[in-house]
Amino acid sequence: MGLRIALFGQAPFGRDVALRLAEAGHELVAVHVPPAARGRVDPLAAESEERGWSLYRHKAYRRKGVAMPERVSEYRSHEADLNVLAFTTVILPPEIVEGARLGSLCFHPSLLPRFRGGNALAWQIIEGAEESGVTVFRPDEGVDTGPIVIQKGGVSIGSEATSASLYFDELYPLGIEAMSEAVAAVADGSAVLTPQGNAGASFQGLVDDGVARIDWSRPGEEIDRLIRGCDPQPAAWAEYDGEVYRLFGCVAERAAHGAEPGTVLDVASQGAMGVAGAGEIILRISRVRGPGGKKLSAGESGLSPGDVLR
């Protein structure tokens, strides 16, 4: 049986979830996408306009922590059977989350209850998790604490994985499958809600510039994970000569170097540069964004052997 779905999401993931649901016979009665930055086109919004789905572009649904009456009234006019939260970054009030006849389903890129919070991808790499996966759950009043409907794991986090590669190469396609299966289960009445246990539960805050600041006194392995976890956003950073340098594309190499951690050891003209890490680790950095604001190859960054990042 096809459901009337209100979808809250954005980006290619939101678009592909919407397309999969439409192909399965569900009706997209409303698509909510945050306003785009100037000059950028959101794929879900563009797809909605092309297909004639009712599109709403709101920055917020709450004011001072309270539901905005005009947003709730607008939402109720959808008469949705189910809300699907596919990569949404807005905070929805309970009046909307619990407003559909069959409630809401939300996607999360980790194996809940581990790595709750808004930057689960980054923290899995930063904390050295070995396995990842996706979860579709029924939201409640907590942060990513609601009962689980579908969970798919078995994704190994490789030694060179970044937040971007973990998401796009592994969790993105898995997430679309999980969302599709969860909606199908709700539609045919076979969905089983499994409460999250407390064993292994964790919550991590957002990865901001405070988290992304490199502390060269930390073991080289930790710095490697920090750089990869913060790639592409917000990008791990250090300073040289009073300027900020953000590092991307890190591969750790175990080798003795005898240099102060943070020292640039070598720079290939068009390739990576080696930076000394504590514990006989050399960090091979392929891309750098320096004072000019552009992401360049390490060889074009202006950094030279002997420079020390602080």
* CATH number, position 138: 3.40.50.170
Give residue-wise pLDDT tens across range 191-237. Answer: 999 999 889 999 999 999 999 999 999 999 999 999 999 999 999 99
**Count of domains forming the chain:** 3
For residues 98 and 4, state if they share a domain: yes
Mean pLDDT value across residues 266-276: 90
Encoding tokens for residue 309? 């990042």
In a domain, 305, yes or no: no
User: Which of 102, 118, 151 is the last residue in one of the domains?
Assistant: 102
Residue type, 184: A
User: Is 155 inside any structural domain?
Assistant: yes
Res. 151: pLDDT tops 80 = yes
pLDDT, one tens digit per residue, over 74-127 is 999 999 999 999 999 899 999 999 999 999 999 999 999 999 999 999 999 999
Are 173 and 148 in contact by the 8 Å Cβ rule? The answer is no
Give the domain extent around 97: 1-102
The answer to whether residues 156 and 125 belong to one domain is yes
Name the pTM for this structure: 0.94
- Rama region for 174: left / alpha / beta (φ>0; ψ in -120 to 50; rest): alpha
37 and 93 fall within a common domain: yes
pLDDT digits (tens, 9 = 90+) for 244-267: 999 999 999 999 999 999 999 999
pLDDT tens digit sequence for 15-31: 999 999 999 999 999 99
**Residue 208 CB partners (closer than 8 Å, separation 6+):** 234
Q: Is residue 42 part of a domain?
A: yes
In this structure, are 36 and 89 located in the same domain? yes
Are the C-beta atoms of residues 286 and 297 closer than 8 Å to each other? yes
Would you list the DSSP string of 118-174? Answer: TTHHHHHHHTT-SEEEEEEE---SSSS-SPEEEEEEEEE--TT--HHHIIIIIIHHH
CATH code: domain of residue 243 = 3.10.25.10
Residue 125 lies in a domain: yes
Q: Is residue 128 part of a domain?
A: yes
Tell me: do 274 and 244 sit in the same domain.
yes
